[in-house]
Amino acid sequence: MSIRVQCVIYDAMDPAAQGRFWAEALGWRITHEVEKETVLEPPAGSPEDGIVPDILFVRVPADETKTVKNRLHMDLRPTDQAAEVARLEALGAKRAAVGQDDSVSWVVMTDPEGNEFCVLRAFTPEELASF
């Protein structure tokens, strides 16, 4: 079969602001921006460029605000979890409680519009060696 995921699409009240937040959070580039949508792609020439799905933020009506936990979210795997959580908070992300207890190894956060995402722990040297 010849098929691939082209985009992951998020509804947004302000696609441009969401695009800027996520571009900074991921180190990606905004490749298309009009009033109702913003597209992010990995850095040009990176190993992910043309492989990883784009992220598209599309405007929704003002009465379609987020009211429940997302059914789809991103998990981010940094090399330094604490530093990334602090950096993301400085960009406008917030920590969130969605039912996780203190034993989990990830940090649940929300972006400026309240969409959940997780910041995972770094891989151990042993885990990295297994790739």
* Phi, psi of 26, rounded to the nearest 5 degrees: -95, -15
Residues 6+ away with beta carbon under 8 Å from 15? 33, 36, 37, 38, 57, 58, 59
Q: What are phi and psi of 78, to 5 degrees?
A: -85, 175
Can you give the pLDDT at residue 67?
Answer: 84
pLDDT of residue 68: 85
Tracing tokens 């959580």 back to the chain, one arrives at: 85
Average pLDDT for runs of 10 along the chain of length 131 = 89 96 98 97 96 96 86 93 97 93 93 96 88 77
pLDDT of residue 125: 86
- The burial of 39, by beta-carbon neighbours within 10 Å (0-12 exposed, 13-18 middle, 19 or more buried), is given as buried
pTM for the full predicted model: 0.89
How far is Cα 61 from Cα 123, in angstroms, rounded to an integer?
Answer: 40
pLDDT at 82: 97
For the chain, domains (ranges, CATH) are: 1-65 (3.10.180.10), 66-131 (3.10.180.10)
